[in-house]
Chains A and B, each alone.
Chain A
Amino acid sequence: MSQGNPLSLHVPEPTGRPGCKTDFSYLQLSAAGEVRKPPTDVQFGDTADLVSSLIRVLDEDGNAVGPWAPQIDAEQLRFGLRTMMKTRIFDARMVIGQRQKKMSFYMTSLGEEAIGTAHALALKDGDMCFPTYRQQSLLMAREYPMVDMICQLLSNERDPMKGRQLPVMYSVKAKGFFTISGNLATQVPQAVGWAMASAIKGDTKIASAWIGDGATAESDFHTALTFAHVYRAPCIINVVNNQWAISTFQAIAGGESVTFAARGVGAGIASLRVDGNDFLAVYAASCWAAERARNNLGPTLIEWVTYRAGPHSTSDDPSRYRPADDWTRFPLGDPIARLRQHLTKIGAWSDEEHEKVQSELEAEVLAAQKEAEQYGTLADGRVPSAASMFEDVYKEMPEHLRRQRQQLGV
């Protein structure tokens, strides 16, 4: 036998680093309308081709084409565009608020607005989303008041989380938005458990779990797929592949030469890979998965292919690890621009209206911020009382916490 050459460790690298251009050919793309649409009772094995192709509806010219083109009325699409715009304007405004030290931290969802917005339209009241910190578009689509969101960001006297949580870690049970945790991936098995509970009770509600590409490497992702498959839990597992986990390219998460959707098929779950910047494709795929879950046909995994256009957070500088103009070359473009083009094409939107809505939303966000700031900001110290810090650790405050509260003199 030959001795062989010395071994070497393979460490994946992105093609694009600061000062050079990313080669996006690693994305396995398909043309709009090209990918087939199976029936919702498809067996997981019969989705194997769908995890290496890409479901897309909107073509280069903004036409909705192919089998996935959804039945959706123009009014809903107009609402979708408006919600995406609102999310983006809100994000931009909150980054300014963070720079002005009104809040300690913020995370934008720039470039990913379509996924949560269109997905929310496919869900019903009572369904529960288990989001990460980058699904604020779900709250926007469910018309949660921006004032309440900003109060949470400011940790002020009206913060629904009573100042206990880092900004963006919202919790809105009434809007089907599960409490966000800093610990990555934990919410995915929780979503599966919530869906199992709905099935145990003979309910009709479904769960929607969210996770990023990087966090799929956490053990909870693997666990969630196993439990979802074993118990045929009525849930949708959404993997938002925005190509980046802080500074880490998705190849280091295990995405080199393989898709995240393929994990689903490997675990026995029907899986789709979808253009995350194509509002119509997101809506259609979400409806398909929701219908499967509602009809007790089991879970669906969807990999949403998108691009994290902004910094990871306000504590991050992406120019240190990727090309500054990367987003402009990302082949799937901007979800807002693409839906705007489509709506304009079908005569349901115009440049004038766009400008008008943009101004209205900017004013709306500013007004919400102004109203929220009336209840205090982290900067001016009008935060929830220190005494409230001891509440809700347990249902009833135990004796040792009473003593500690007394020691603080509050």
Chain B
Amino acid sequence: MTMIQALRSAMDVMLGKDDNVVIYGQDVGYFGGVFRATDGLQAKYGKQRVFDAPISEGGIVGTAVGMGAYGLRPVVEIQFADYFYPASDQIVSEAARLRYRSAGDFTAPLTIRMPCGGGIYGGQTHSQSPEAMFTHVCGLRTVMPSNPYDAKGLLIASIENDDPVIFLEPKRLYNGPFDGHHDRPVVSWAKHPMGEVPEGYYTVPLDKAAIFRPGADLTVLTYGTMVWVSEAAALETGIDCEIIDLRTLWPLDLDTIVESVKKTGRCVVVHEATRTSGFGAELASLVQEHCFYYLEAPIERVTGWDTPYPHAQEWAYFPGPDRVGAAFKRAMEAK
């Protein structure tokens, strides 16, 4: 399956398994989503379960909070992560706080899907990676898969989770893995082992990172598209990197991170999002705090620049394998 098919399969499974699951968002119903992620679901489950919504992110999330309070399990879509901002108040002030402020009287077991990330000539409002806007919010879980198998397992786990989950989907990975080499032909998930996805129900736990590539020299902390870019950079530099795909950004799997950095003594954080106050700052801080006496080099961060995401300068902005590889070398050369 492609990541799109895997996500659709996850929603299909959960619509079948739990009568309280409902799916809605802009163009999600009859049309099946602008990325096809909900294709066929309305025809299969009916308009009471899968339906189109007005163009109102605040309304989509706000009504989902109310449905959650009633006892449903809404899975709503924001068409692009770049357009979640109108729903900020409902996400931060409401969904994330409902359980806490009511001492468990009301809960918001919702999943908010958002296609995110760049590398597609999406320009300023179709490329952003706003994960740090969510990881900073107490009460939210923030999840981002990097392959079809995880996408389905993590989405099922997110829908089943009783906490509100921000489910970020790197749209660059929807049809195939992408290592940042934009000049080479794109490979489909059909030709990749991680495109093998079981048809039925399974989960990938929300609080576990994956060691995407084991290695001895350097720990790479990353997620989403940058997992694949990091792998390419490791192969091209010949550095034996241990690449950790965080999968769940927050609350994260600290043990796997700390164990790896204690082993390698070096750490590079890689994400597409802009640098300053990005999620990488939290990762670097955690590693510094927990692995200080094991570190043999400063923690490096390779990220998007502190600029809005440009159009024409796509590949100068996107942290590709060359920039990532250069950081790996610096980390290895540091004494």
Contacts and interface: CB of A to CB of B under 8 A. Distances in A.
Interface residues of A, number: 45
Nearest to B65: A190
16 contacts: A161-B102, A171-B102, A183-B93, A186-B94, A189-B59, A190-B63, A197-B70, A201-B72, A219-B86, A220-B59, A223-B62, A224-B59, A224-B62, A392-B103, A394-B251, A399-B254
Interface string A150-165: 0000000000111011
A227 B205 CA distance: 34
A334 to B, nearest CB: 34
A138 to B, nearest CB: 15
A226 interface: yes
Given A171-B105, A173-B106, 7 more contacts: A161-B102, A162-B103, A164-B101, A183-B89, A186-B89, A201-B70, A223-B62
Nearest to B138: A393
B69 A194 contact: yes
Interface string A86-110: 0000000000000000000000000
Given A183-B89, A392-B99, A227 B105 contact: no
Nearest to A205: B70
A393 B100 contact: yes
Contacts of B65: 186, 189-190, 193
Given A193-B62, A193-B66, A164 B103 contact: yes
A191 B63 CA distance: 7
B116 to A, nearest CB: 23
Given A189-B90, A196-B67, A197-B70, A171 B62 contact: no
Interface in B231-268: 251, 254
The bracket for how many chain B residues form the interface is: 35 or more
B276 to A, nearest CB: 22
A193 B104 contact: no
Contacts, number: 140
A179 B254 contact: no
Interface of A: 128, 130, 160-162, 164-165, 169, 171-173, 178-179, 181-183, 186, 188-198, 200-201, 207, 219-220, 223-224, 226-227, 230, 392-395, 398-400
The listed residue with most B CB atoms (<10 A of its CB), out of A130, A181, A197, A219, is A197
B41 interface: no
B80 to A, nearest CB: 19
Contacts of B99: 392-395
